[in-house]
Chain A
């Protein structure tokens, strides 16, 4: 289980791994709603969202595989929990519906900003893929935005639960924009348009009108920006146990 150790630690692999792991982990989190979502429509929606995100992760692990020769499935499933590089925003457990919506809105709004900053980059395999991802992620953003609006405008339990969820996520809300090691090289090479700190500013500008309109508190800066993709905690350990269970049950099985 040393897939990461074999990856050349270049800035590009670090960037790809961070996005792939984000999509992979939120996809599995969303799939936890399959069969138990509060509405049948949302059961379908969360399952479809999960399918989209896992597909995005597979494509990104595929790019990493092309760069490094490592089997994408091994990247996805054969690492220890501490080797995953998703952001801590996605480490809070599934929680209730309000938590799911709060997390999705914060993540989707950030993901769109990140993808748009990669869309005109200099490395074609990534920009070709991003052109597709952006088109799909906008549907995700619309879905989360509509639910954020609905919960925030419903006084009493819906709004209270949403506020509690945003409060819990606040210290990690901006961790999508955690600095990637060697990031300056990515910007210099034209793969990333601007550094993550600039992207965080764009993200804040994009969500500020929404939060102001709904009278919701804006998320603060990340509490521990250096470790925004480390120290995943017990909730992720549990999710990891779930999503690797089939793979671990019969290592090396072919399907």
Chain B
């Protein structure tokens, strides 16, 4: 990728909307795969073992033609509607992509709902390695109480299935607190939504 003439670190975009230099007279050609590879290096601030790609929040990447406004557009899916990390994620993405030499626009959309099933296989392994149980299948039945709570979520420390829910709600909106009766450790799991 070309980084010639780029002000790196321009982009503490306040609203996360637009960052990077104005289009040059001849905007650089940008490869979508390279943008996606760069996104795979942007980590989630609350789950720093997961990139935004592994978390499954990258909805659309549009590098567009170099003509027009020349923007690289990224649409992301909030994990939770009120996720307070969203603005930070937007600005982290804008900052990482500013090196491509095009203006960057990062927006959030609910066009499709983020679900916990969007976390990648690699992401699940990274969560487990960090002591956080990955989410199971999000079973949304017809009745409100049919969320699959998976009372036997395996303990990420010892693998035991003798675990219980301590608190549906945890330190962030996306987590539940559980307890392992075998190794007697509390642990967190990602909510199935």
Contact = CB atoms under 8 A, between A and B. Distances in A.
Interface stretch (B46-54, B68-76, B168-176): B168-176
B81 A139 contact: no
A206 B144 CA distance: 10
Given A41-B167, A135-B193, A55 B144 contact: no
Contacts of B191: 139
A231 interface: no
A141 B81 contact: no
Output the residue of B81, B109, B115, B167 with the most chain A CB within 10 A: B81
Interface residues of B, number: 29
A135 B115 contact: yes
A132 B118 CA distance: 14
A145 B113 contact: no
A58 interface: yes
Contact of B147 (A51, A54, A56, A142): A142
A136 B80 contact: yes
Main secondary structure of the interface of B (DSSP, over half): loop
B84 interface: yes
Interface in B141-166: 144-145, 147, 149, 166
A132 B81 contact: yes
B167 A52 contact: no
Contacts of B149: 142
Contact of A44 (B82, B111, B114, B167): B167
B42 to A, nearest CB: 22
A7 to B, nearest CB: 22
B82 A52 contact: yes
B81 A59 contact: yes
A129 interface: yes
